[in-house]
Structures are given as C-alpha cells and as structure tokens.
Amino acid sequence: MPSIERGRGFGSVLVRLLGIVIALIGLTLTIGGGQLIMLGGSAYYLIVGLLMIVSGGLLALLRPVGAWLYVAIFIGTVVWALWEVGLNGWALVPRVVAPLVLLIAVVVSLPVLKRDGGGGRLALSGLAAIVVLGLISGVVVAQANKARVLSPVPGAANGGAGDPAVLKVGADWPAWGGSDSAQRYSPLTQITKDNVKGLQRAWTFRTGDLPDERWGAETTPLKIGDTLYLCSARNRLFAVDAATGKQKWTYDPKVADDQIPYTAACRGVTYYAAPNVDAAQPCATRIIEGTLDGRLVAVDARTGAPCAGFGTNGEVNIKHGMGDPYPGMVSITSAPVIVRGVVVTGHQVLDGQKRWNASGVIQGFDAMTGELRFAWDMMRPDITTLPPEGETYTPGTPNMWTTATADEALGLVFLPMGNSSADYYSGLRRPAENEYSTSLVALDVTTGKPRWHFQTVRKDVWDYDLGSQATLVDMPVNGTLVPAVILPSKQGDLYILDRRTGQPLHKVEERRVPQGGVEPSQRSPTQPFSLFHTLRKADLTERDMWGMSPIDQMVCRIQFRQAAYDGYFTPPTADRHWIQYPGYNGGSDWGGVAVDPARGVIVANYNDMPNHNRLVPRAEADRLGWFPRDDPRYIEREKEAANRGGNLSKSKAEGAGDPQMGVPYAIDVNAGWRVKFTGLLCKQPPYGGMRAIDLKSGRTLWDRPFGTARKNGPFGIPSMLPLEIGTPNNGGSAVTAGGLIFIAAATDDLIRAIDIETGKTVWSDVLPAGGQANPMVYEQNGRQYLVIMAGGHHFMETPRGDYVIAYALPERK
C-alpha cells in the first residue's frame, strides 16, 4: 500500500507539472495571440491560449475536467487546421503535431484523474482523437511525397530543340554546361530508368582542398578524350584519368587566402584547342581557369605546365585598369567562355560592400597570347581596351559573376548581368547602369560592344541579378526553328528570346507593381512578366507561416503582419522589415536549367523561399560596426577575430549586415526568413522544387518537391526523415537520352536519378558531403559515367568535402 500511494503521489506531481506546462504555453499563446489580433491576424491563438490556461490550471489541481477541456481544444485545433490549410501535410505539422504530443501526455495522465469515474470515457475520447489524426497524417504525408504530373512528357514531335554548339557533347563533356549551348544534355543511353538502380561508385578522387566560409567547391569537371579536368575549392587544377580517377597532373596557381572573398567558388574550367597547330606542340590544347584573386591562368592540357606564350608565364591579371582593388573585392568564380578565339570573362565584385566598388567591366583576351582584345565598360564605350594612363574602368558598374554562353556561329557571348554592389538602393545609379543591370547582354566578340540587351528587372533593388547561365536552343515557332536563348531568372520567370535580336518569342507583359519604400521616385511603375513560364508561386498570406509548433508559427505570423508586404516587388523599407518573395535565392540560380532536345522538355530545379529584410540607416549601421572589408575599422576587428580563431564573415549569409557604404542605408537580410530560436524557416514547405516544362508551349508537365527532410530539423538537428519536404538547393541538373535527370543540389546530401517522364526518383545515393554542384555525364571505353563534386556549401549548411565521385553500371565480365 505505501508503494502504491507513493506511485500515485509521484503521478500526481507529473500531472501537476503537465498542467503548469500547458498553462504556460497557453499564456504565451495568449500574449502573442493578442498582439496578432491587434495586427489584424488570426484570433485562433488568443482563444486557444486562454482555454489552455484554464485547462492547465484544472490539470494542476488534478481536475478531470481539465483533461476533457484539452481534448476539446485539440479537436477544435484539428478542425481549424483543416479549415485553414486542408490536407496539406507540411502545413498541418506546426498546427497539430505539438498539440498532439500534449494530448498523448494528457491521455497517459488519465489513471491519476480516474477518481471521478470519467477517466475511461476520457481515455477513449483521447485515443479516438489520436487515431483520427493518425489517419489524416497518413493521407497528408502521402500527398506531400507525391509529384504532381499534369500531362505526359511530349516526344520530339511536339517540338524539339537542336544543339547549335560547336563543342559537341556525347562521349565527352567539353564545356561547363555540357557544350557551348549549355543544355546540360547527354545523348548517352546506356543508363536507363530500368537499370539505374544498379549504379555503383566506380572511383573517387579527392582534391585535398576542403571548402571554407570563404571558398567553395562547386566544380563541374570537363571530359575530353580520356581525361577529366577540374579545379579545387582554391583553384588548384587537376587532370584525372576518366576510367580510373587517378591523377595525371596538378597545377597550383597559388591563390593567397587574403585575396579570396567570402563565399567565392571555382565552378569550372575551360578547354581550348588551338586551330591549325600541331597537336604535339606545347599548349596546342589548353585549360584556362579564372582564379579567386582575379587572374586568367592557361596550362597545357596534356602536362599541366603553364603556357609560356599566354600573358606573363601563363597568366593574365584582369584587375589591370581597375585601380588596384582591395584584396578579395574581385574574383572569377565561373568558367570563362571562348568565342572565335577570344576568352571572355566577367568577375564577381564582392556584394554589399560599397557603392563605388571595383568596376564590372567585361573583358576579352586572345586565347593563345592572352592579349586584351576588348573591354566593355558600359559607362565608357570609348574605352575599348585598357583605360588611358591615370584613369580606371568606371567604378561601381554592374558585374557578371556567373557563367556566360557562347554562340560561335553568331559571334556572340550572352552575359547575364548583375547590379552595382549596393544592391538594395538605386538612387545613385547612372543611366547606363539602369539600362544594363539585371539584363542579358549579347556582346559581339569582334567589336567588344553590345549587339542587343534584354532587361528582366528595372532599377533592381531586390538583388535579382541574373545568376543562371543562358541556354541556347532551336525554338519551334510557327512551324520553323528559330535560334533562341532561354533566360532563367531569380524571380522565377523564364524568358524565350530570339538570340539574333533579343526579341521575345513568347509574350512579355508589362504589369503594374507596388510603389513606395525609401525612394519612391526611383521605383518603376511596371515590370516585365514572362507569359511563357514562371517558377514563382502565389503571393504569401498569413496562413503560409510555419514552424515546429504553434508558438513559433505564431511568431512568424506576427512578423508577417508587422512587415511591409504588397506581394511580388514590394519596395525596400527602413522603418520596418519588408518581405521579399521570392528571395535572392529564389527561382533559378547559377545551376541553370537543362534541356532535353529530343523530348522538347526544359528541366528546372528552383528555390521557393522569402527573405525578411530591412534597410538600416547609416548611423545605425556604423554603431553596429558594419564596415566594408577595406575599412580600417573592419580590418582591426578582423585581426581581433583571427586572434580568437575566427573571422567576421564566418557563417554569415549574404546580405546579413552588409554595409553598402556610399549610399544612405546598409542592408540586413534574413535569408530564407528563419526563426532565430529554432533555425526553421517561417514559410511552410516546400522550399525547393523541380519542374518539367514543355519547351514549345511553356506548360508544366510535372512539378514536385525536391529534397528530403533527412538532414533538416529544428535547432540544426537532422531529422533523418526520408520525406520529401522540398529543401533549399544550389546547383543544377544533367539530362540524358536515357530518360533520366541526374541532380544533387539539395541539402539532404543525396544524388538522384529522376525519371523525366514522371518526376519520380528512381535511384539515389548518399554523398559524403553536400552536392552543391552540377553533375556531368560521359562515356569512356564503352562505359557511361556520372560524376558529381561533393564539396558541401556553408550557406546551404551541408557537410564540406573534397570528393569527386564517379558512378557507373557494373562492368560486364
């Protein structure tokens, strides 16, 4: 008897504690719910909060009616949740999972509450609620993992796209995008959806260069003949045997750490075969790389030795004429392109530092000698090579940091342009900058001047710079094939342009957009919207807010109501936060799109996340210590941080406290709009997807969430759930004639094969590090290979590594 009484006494203590917890949660919901109502939001949180205070108080007094009340609260919550979001599995999670956990605890406490005789009925009621919710959960989880197939994938008869490239893809993968057309398509058919499950690792190569917060490994190797060519995270060049993965040679351009900016990467290299040169001559074939400290380096493709006839000892400094920019301000992160023997390169100018940062000048160099053939400074069209003595290229002009596309036949290079380095303020921009920023510029390599340009955003203050490489196709129009270019954008629109003239082949419509913000006179009343296709989703509403529980979901709802948000193109504000949706990682980024020309299908992976931003007045930014890298105050703080074993930019997302010196405001970006105390995103999943699009009509063929929840969870703890939540992704795909899409990119550290006809994953493998790179496909000795760089990405928070991994089917005995 004494032990039974002690057990009852301990059980009573636990029930009282449960009641106190429920009452405290109710108090939190009551306070936040009241604030939300005053902002015009949902009344649910206040009502439920008050009821939970009562329920928790009664449970603390060991009154069974407190448990009955909580069961009623839970049932009401389920009804409200279904009314708000229906059978949307991920949207139901914060609304019902945490309340369900409390319900289970209440049911478990029933034996202690039996003395009024109502415990059995209460238990049955609670268990019935749990069973019903379990059935609902089964339905919604199945829906969350389901790809939405809208129509069959068309065949070539529905309008295919030719490959206008000079460099052909097949056994080889001779350019970063597969070929000069950047379709990321391989005609190989050995690996199919029927045998892809047999893929196994054929070899692994390690570069020895681990990524850091400053530099990353986003490399896509080239394959020419029997050799793969690639760069490491810090620009070391490698030649690797295509069949075995064994190193043939390496060359280190010796990039100093202090010359590398935050979040730079080496995405690839360029191959060039000199015309009319004996193949046995040194550097008859060469690998050209842009470095993180602003050099072009050329080495012999056979030996890795520097090409002595290229510039000085095999290298050219692109920073000549820029006025000696501060270390780390200028870097080449993407592979240059070569058109008619001219190496064309842009460069990254470190974002968010200062309005009058280094020039975004585009330069063309002779592929054999390294001689400067042209320079395009949009503010100074009279400067065609180096600036006059004592002058520099115009500071602060928009730059091209991503990969250009070559059209050998037309003699054009297509440049996806960005903004000046003060992305979020436009008042000091000059007419030429306003004309060319966030535009695709078709540059004539024979003259070094634009032939045409097409702008996707006017006076861009959302960091919607064009990050994707443009893709060349032969577009079916009125029964004929027109040479076209597909231009993806961060805001999600896909534009189809005649690549000879820049004229849209599908209508682009001017629509009115929100006005106001800190510089209302600068905002364009309309913006161009593509009617071909957009990856952008509907505007956000309060119901789209998310979290791990009703509490953090309520916090996100409050932030939503407090922020300025008028939908797409909400102007930046300083008196309060504003919501940018999609954010600067939205839509299509540097991974680009892939095209299956036989089926006439565009494959696009995309991000679907908002940013929560605020312009910070200059005086406030100075008090916070937000200074550009070349400011003595920053340098001193960097030294102090280094002495403590860190650096100022460690784990800092782009835009999170960028000074934008030279304009009235700094910028603070909460990329993805995270809740600080859980690390989860405020918008409900999915955060990333993959879509197949009919090339001829722009119709969606199928759309699916992309990326599982296995490496994501609250407080940075991986959930290991194999459910398709749709994660942020960085990197692109490759498609094959075998009907497969190969892609890594997501934050779950998986590489996948996806059936292009249905959107279903038919094979996957766990990578040893994040796969934030574009894969490539080739054939060697009759065997088809798939290769991916597993290097990780600090912004995507995936594990870092230095692995180049090749997959193939088992060799036939």
Instruction: Please report the pLDDT score of residue 701 as a whole number.
Output: 98
| Cα separation, 512 vs 743, whole angstroms | 37
Q: Classify the C-alpha dihedral 377-378-379-384 as positive or negative.
A: positive
Query: Which of helix, strand or coil describes residue 459?
Result: coil
| Cα separation, 227 vs 174, whole angstroms | 11
Instruction: Please report the pLDDT score of residue 682 as a whole number.
Output: 96
Beta strands in 351-437 (DSSP E): 362-366, 372-376, 405-407, 412-416
Distance of CA 527 to the CA centre of its chain: 23
Instruction: Please report the pLDDT score of residue 586 as a whole number.
Output: 86
Backbone angles phi, psi at 8, to 5 degrees: -65, -35
> Other CB atoms closer than 10 Å to residue 622's CB: what's the count?
15
The reply to whether 377 and 470 lie within a common domain is yes
Catalytic residue positions, numbered: 463
Could you identify the residue written with the tokens 């050219």? 316
Say yes or no to pLDDT of 519 above 50.
yes
The reply to whether 656 and 720 lie within a common domain is no
Is 1 part of any domain?
A: no
What length is written for the chain?
A: 813
Average pLDDT, integer, range 692-699:
96
Average pLDDT, integer, range 76-94:
94
Could you identify the residue written with the tokens 């928009």? 398
What is the CA angle 440-443-448, rounded to 5? 145
Is 129 part of any domain?
A: yes
Q: pLDDT tens digit string along 233-286?
A: 999 999 999 999 999 999 999 999 888 887 789 999 999 999 989 988 999 999
Distances (CA, A) of 297 to 179, 277, 403: 21, 20, 17
Task: Supply the DSSP string of 154-208, one letter for each residue.
Answer: P-GGGT------SS--SS-B-BTTBSTT---EE---SS-TTTGGG-EEEEEEE-S
The reply to whether 664 and 677 lie within a common domain is no
Q: pLDDT tens digit string along 31-80?
A: 999 999 999 999 999 999 999 999 999 999 999 999 999 999 999 999 99
Name every residue whose Cβ is closer than 8 Å to that of residue 266 and which is 6 or more positions away in sequence: 215, 217, 218, 219, 231, 232, 233, 234, 235, 289, 291, 292, 333
Instruction: Please report the pLDDT score of residue 421 as a whole number.
Output: 84
Instruction: Please report the pLDDT score of residue 251 as a whole number.
Output: 98
> Other CB atoms closer than 10 Å to residue 636's CB: what's the count?
11
The reply to whether 228 and 94 lie within a common domain is no
Instruction: Please report the pLDDT score of residue 160 as a whole number.
Output: 44
Instruction: Please report the pLDDT score of residue 135 as a whole number.
Output: 46
Is 259 part of any domain?
A: yes
User: What tokens were used for 684?
Assistant: 């409900």
- Tell me the range of 128-137, 564-573, 709-718 where mean pLDDT is highest: 564-573
| Cα separation, 29 vs 52, whole angstroms | 9
| Cα separation, 28 vs 21, whole angstroms | 11
Is 165 part of any domain?
A: no
**If pLDDT is split at 50, 70 and 90, which confidence band does 130 have?**
low
Q: pLDDT tens digit string along 292-302?
A: 999 999 999 99
Is 343 part of any domain?
A: yes
Q: pLDDT tens digit string along 724-753?
A: 999 999 999 999 999 999 999 999 999 999
**Of 145, 169, 200, which residue is a domain's last?**
145
Instruction: Please report the pLDDT score of residue 263 as a whole number.
Output: 79
Query: Which of helix, strand or coil describes residue 122?
Result: helix
Q: Classify the C-alpha dihedral 496-501-502-503 as positive or negative.
A: negative
**If pLDDT is split at 50, 70 and 90, which confidence band does 128 have?**
low
**Of 648, 670, 692, which residue is a domain's last?**
670
Average pLDDT, integer, range 89-105:
94
Instruction: Please report the pLDDT score of residue 430 as a whole number.
Output: 96
| Cα separation, 356 vs 722, whole angstroms | 47
**If pLDDT is split at 50, 70 and 90, which confidence band does 788 have?**
very high
Q: pLDDT tens digit string along 174-196?
A: 999 999 999 999 999 999 999 99
The reply to whether 694 and 793 lie within a common domain is yes
User: What tokens were used for 150?
Assistant: 């809208």
The reply to whether 627 and 586 lie within a common domain is no
**If pLDDT is split at 50, 70 and 90, which confidence band does 794 have?**
confident
Contact yes or no for 142/88 (Cβ under 8 A): no
Is 367 part of any domain?
A: yes
Kindly state the helix (H) or strand (E) to which residue 674 belongs, with its residue range.
none
Query: Which of helix, strand or coil describes residue 26?
Result: helix
Task: Supply the DSSP string of 46-76, one letter for each residue.
Answer: HHHHHHHHHHHHHHHTT-HHHHHHHHHHHHH
Say yes or no to pLDDT of 518 above 80.
yes
**If pLDDT is split at 50, 70 and 90, which confidence band does 796 have?**
confident
Q: Classify the C-alpha dihedral 297-302-305-308 as positive or negative.
A: negative
Q: pLDDT tens digit string along 574-611?
A: 999 999 999 998 899 999 999 999 999 999 999 999 99
Give the whole-number percent of the chain exceeding pLDDT 90: 81
Strand partners, 348: 331
The reply to whether 367 and 446 lie within a common domain is yes
Number of domains in the chain: 3
Say yes or no to pLDDT of 121 above 60.
no
Domain extent for 81? 10-145
Q: pLDDT tens digit string along 621-671?
A: 999 999 998 889 988 887 887 777 666 555 467 778 999 999 999 999 999
Say yes or no to pLDDT of 119 above 50.
no
The mean pLDDT of the chain is: 91
Instruction: Please report the pLDDT score of residue 1 as a whole number.
Output: 44
- Sheet containing strand 237-241, strands side by side: 222-224, 227-231, 237-241, 247-251
Average pLDDT, integer, range 340-368:
96
Say yes or no to pLDDT of 127 above 60.
no
Could you identify the residue written with the tokens 């949307």? 88
**Of 145, 176, 207, which residue is a domain's last?**
145
**If pLDDT is split at 50, 70 and 90, which confidence band does 6 have?**
very low
- Smallest Cα–Cα separation from 582: which of 681, 470, 473? 681
- Smallest Cα–Cα separation from 648: which of 656, 807, 676? 656
Say yes or no to pLDDT of 124 above 60.
no
Q: pLDDT tens digit string along 153-179?
A: 555 434 444 444 446 899 999 999 999
Instruction: Please report the pLDDT score of residue 646 as a whole number.
Output: 62
What one-character DSSP code corresponds to residue 549? S
The reply to whether 654 and 698 lie within a common domain is no
- Smallest Cα–Cα separation from 351: which of 232, 438, 425, 262? 262
The reply to whether 715 and 749 lie within a common domain is yes
Is 723 part of any domain?
A: yes
Q: pLDDT tens digit string along 477-513?
A: 888 999 999 999 999 999 999 999 999 999 999 999 9
| Cα separation, 537 vs 738, whole angstroms | 31
**Long-range own/partner contacts, residues 295-298 (CB < 8 A, 24 or more apart):** 295/253, 295/332, 296/332, 296/336, 296/343, 296/345, 296/365, 296/370, 297/235, 297/237, 297/251, 297/253, 298/370
**If pLDDT is split at 50, 70 and 90, which confidence band does 439 have?**
very high
The reply to whether 762 and 661 lie within a common domain is no
Is 221 part of any domain?
A: yes
Strand partners, 534: 493
The reply to whether 623 and 698 lie within a common domain is no
The reply to whether 642 and 735 lie within a common domain is no
Query: Which of helix, strand or coil describes residue 788?
Result: strand
Kindly state the helix (H) or strand (E) to which residue 746 belongs, with its residue range.
none
